[in-house]
Structure 1
């Protein structure tokens, strides 16, 4: 029996919370070192079945949790000290809220006696993340109060349920007072306290899940449609939305799915290159739909957004799995919420399958014109371009490898140059708020959760934003991570803007070239690194078998933009 004197009580109630989270399904925690979070840190450290990861930088830690949540569709927990430490989680929490990724933040805080007294390292951490957190609670437990301990178990349930079902960050603030450390005898008894933990006591088995099917009216509307189109936005690949998608994808309907939105192992009439040829209004007009079936969040690509804007008068059936709004064109929508924890069944409906062969042929014709050029451009001996990097990767990596793609040009180039070669690889992106911070840390989280080879395609500025992730990576012994850095010396995506014509200001204020030797920086941190400037050298670098490797690709920004322009036109 654990001793519950005043010295041990705080670690005791932290361990009750940890035990409850484990029973609901928590398997990963990222701990950032600090003093005030000692009770939480020790409560996790003594739990033998939760994987512990250490990250000194809280911003990096939060994006690691994001990556774990993306892959597992279950939250990872974050533990930190008080003050500015939890504030560093904010960028990842914004991305989690925008992209519907579960996450749990457990921040330590000062006790009541240090509140609003000018005490060092105290800030008001109540609702620190505002409306970007889906749930907030204070874990203030009084000694020798059994009712408070019961409330703590219920708080753990609220924390888990909110993160999973409301799809975002649950934030729990733990006020701790000194002494923070339990005695050694108490600490030695914690593994035994955890040994009788049940697993997934709050998860429903398939036998107890309720069944759900899309409204019959959606299929009846589809039966009347001659030119329907399916649009996959971010979030389509996660359960149960992916199961609803499969009901429709089998009906010979053209599917527009950007990278990272295609459900794994899905079959259907996927169309490629659309973000290129749908930039032109005449192509959008010739491919006019009479029904749009949307899944998930708002798509990203310029071509697809242009197509949806031009056809904003076309009726839309929109399936989504959380309470966000996603209708930037103000189209007339039938919004259908797909609940969590259900088994998707097809409705009993007469499926009068219309012959849509000519409609599908129209799309495939547009696709083939794009692919004719896409498949026939040649690697150049004179210049190494961003597109070369994506195409070589699409021709080289194994089907079971996972891809993490940075934002900015990388997110656009993977569709432009990497598809359809990478159509069967699992692809992740941070497309909620589309920032370039935390990209490397997100890839690290995915690698930790999946135990598969992860290839990250990122840019030089994105890597600089997240250099502390490389410090954490050097201490990882079990992951397989290949970091491909496209070093085109700055923010080349700004060359798409009119300000590019202003040579006087463009480079200094927008492109911001950093002139950093990326490979040398990573080598200084103990990561095997290589710098390549030609296509053949890059092909050889991809064959390196080391578990962790960084490949810096020095590419030609002007040649890269020229190749993009040729494909866009």
Structure 2
């Protein structure tokens, strides 16, 4: 895929689970942020899209593809096409690597200005993310995702839970190609996430990170039973914002009264996550800074590190970074 993108001078919208999120200049990590702005997104409208594998995780990217009017060619090894928006023009079943090689033999590159436009935008976005998150005195939720991805050793596994963890990895993390990425993307995304990570760590015998929210962690905390006795190298990072953080980004937050929203969606808790993890015989600690998290993640597991955050501040943080990226990308056009 990287060779084809270089040959065609096409950008790669690099989903963190797809193995394409590298330092390759064509690998675009932060498009989700600037494609939120219709005026900016209009400058990046494609004519043809080659989709390798399943749908992107990003709702913004999927919506942009749907509205682009582009001819979308989906390539997958499976004959079952996932196309909820019914915007795929052609579905090709086969080995993606072989098909990419075949395309290279019969195509010529487009004008370099197209890929350079994407690369300028991506460079501006990366600078904003680094300036905002790499120097923060107190860890934010985006900073947790970014630090964890950067700190885990080469060839480690990283299991990313649903809701905000997978989105924060997608929006703010750097290159992920030194890691083996995993995520449960089912209907009930918080079911069995801890157990999934334990299984991956035990079976692979490789260092394994888990980024998970507090609700998902409590939902499957019994997955920690017995891992200390088996010396499973699982390094869990729990974002504890006292509830379901993703719902603060959804429309019901603005339409419901605070008490009703908290009861139905925020679902605040008073659980001592450090104490719960320690009760399973697992080493535990709290991290408040990037350095504290970095130090914790570098230690072999099993261990649980809890990072306490604020749901209200998290919404503001995301909006500030997204708006800064939009402004920076707009300045490159």
* TM-score normalised according to structure 2 size: 0.87
Q: State the structure with bigger RCO (CA 8 A, min sep 6), 1 or 2.
A: 2
Stretches of structure 1 that go unaligned for 5 or more consecutive residues are 1-244
Residue 374 of structure 1: how far off its partner (Å): 0.8
2:14 match: 257
The structural deviation recorded for 1:536 is 3.8
Inter-CA distance 386–338: structure 2 relative to 1 (3 Å threshold): same
Q: Does 1:326 align with 2:53?
A: no
Shift of 1:350: 5.0
CA deviation after TM superposition for structure 1 residue 294, in Å = 0.7
Aligned to 2:237: 484
Change (3 A) 1:434 1:412: farther
**Are the aligned partners of 2:198 and 2:224 in contact in 1 as well (CA < 8 Å)?**
no
Q: How many angstroms does 1:412 deviate by?
A: 0.6
- What does residue range 211-250 of structure 1 map to in structure 2 within 5 Å? 245=1, 248-250=4-6
> How far 1:323 sits from its partner (Å)?
3.3
Work out the CA distance in 1 between the residues paired with 2:252 and 2:303. 36
Q: Please say if residues 241 and 310 of structure 2, whose CA atoms lie closer than 8 Å, have aligned partners that are also in contact.
A: yes
Q: Establish whether residue 277 from structure 1 lines up as the match of residue 34 from structure 2.
A: yes
* In the alignment, structure 1 residue 292 sits paired with structure 2 residue 292: no
- Is the Cα contact below 8 Å between 1:253 and 1:269 reproduced in 2? yes
Answering whether residue 267 of structure 2 is matched by residue 516 of structure 1, we say: no
Change (3 A) 1:355 1:465: same
Counting only pairs closer than 5 Å after superposition, residues 415-564 of structure 1 correspond to structure 2 as 415-420=170-175, 422-433=176-187, 435-477=189-231, 479-501=232-254, 502-545=257-300, 547-564=301-318
Kept after mapping to 1: 8 A contact 2:14/2:20? no
Q: Quick check: which one's helix share is greater?
A: 2
Q: Name the SS for the 2:239 alignment partner.
A: strand
Structure with the greater alpha carbon radius of gyration: 1
Q: Is the 8 A contact 1:385 1:557 kept in 2?
A: no
- Deviation (angstroms), 1:269: 1.9
1:83-135 deviation line (CA, Å, top 9, x unaligned)? xxxxxxxxxxxxxxxxxxxxxxxxxxxxxxxxxxxxxxxxxxxxxxxxxxxxx
Structure 1: how far apart are the matches of 2:130 and 2:34? 15
- How many positions carry a matched residue from both structures? 319
Aligned counterparts of 1:299 and 1:370: Cα–Cα separation in 2: 19
Q: Deviations over 1:420-457 (max 9, x none)?
A: 4x343221111243611111111112112221101100
Query: Which of 125, 145, 161 does residue 370 from structure 1 map onto?
Result: 125
The 3 A distance-change label for structure 1 pair 432 and 357 is farther
C-alpha separation in 1, matches of 2:123 and 2:101: 33
Q: Could you tell me which residue of structure 1 aligns to residue 320 of structure 2?
A: 566
Preserved CA contact (<8 Å) 1:438 1:466: yes
Query: Is the alpha carbon distance of 1:265 and 1:371 closer, same or farther for their aligned partners in structure 2, counting shifts above 3 Å?
Result: closer
Asked if 2 retains the 8 angstrom alpha-carbon contact of 1:249 and 1:268, the reply is no
Structure 1 Cα separation of the partners of residues 101 and 140 of structure 2: 47
Alpha-carbon deviation of 1:543? 3.4
Q: Which structure 2 residue ranges, 5 or more long, are not aligned?
A: 324-333
Which residue number in structure 2 is paired with residue 219 of structure 1? Answer: none
Instruction: Give the CA RMSD over aligned residues.
Output: 2.6
Cα offsets for 1:258-280 (capped at 9, x unmatched): 11112598967211201111111
